[in-house]
Amino acid sequence: MSLIKLITFDVHGDDRGSLIALEQYQNIPFDIKRIYYIFDTKPGVARGFHAHKNLQQVAVCLKGQCRIMLDDGQRTDDVLLDSPAKGLLIDGLKWREMHDFSEDCVLMVLASEVYDESDYIRDYDDFKRAVKNENSPVK
């Protein structure tokens, strides 16, 4: 099964243009405690390279595009986010990397928790160990 979980948002469009509404437990499957956005990304730069212990996020590319790669320790999948009507749900223990940002990319992320540096796993070997522990918890 693919690691890519996409949510397609309804677009309310009329002759004035388009509008998308994001609401917790309607099209976002968690309490939204934090919103951040990534923009002005420099050419050739990649971001992420970490996992989270306890965080759900939905990433939406509001403008431009970027590619997100997810890794659950067993497999990797990637997706091009290129539409404000498309949200990528990132949940569970997954290493994530963001690549190929277009110059105009504005990537907004909705998060289920406030910022907490202790929730990050920034070392890939630590991530692999965490996956192993999750799959074979001490009885």
Chain residues in the site for ligand T46 (CB under 6 A): 34, 36, 38, 47-48, 57, 96, 109, 115
Q: CA 128, CA 65: separation in Å to the nearest integer?
A: 29
Determine whether 50 is an active site residue. Answer: yes
Q: Which two tokens stand for residue 58?
A: 């939905």
Q: What is the largest CA-CA distance in the chain?
A: 61
Nearer to ligand T46, 57 or 60 (CB): 57
* Residue placing its CB nearer to ligand T46 in the complex, 13 or 49: 49
Return the sign of the alpha-carbon dihedral for residues 29, 77, 42, 85.
Answer: negative
Signed CA dihedral, 121, 4, 110, 82: sign only? positive
Amino acid letter at 63?
Answer: K
Rg of the chain, C-alpha, whole Å: 16
Please say which residue, 9 or 81, places its beta carbon nearer to ligand T46.
Answer: 81
Q: Would you name the residues annotated as active-site residues? A: 50
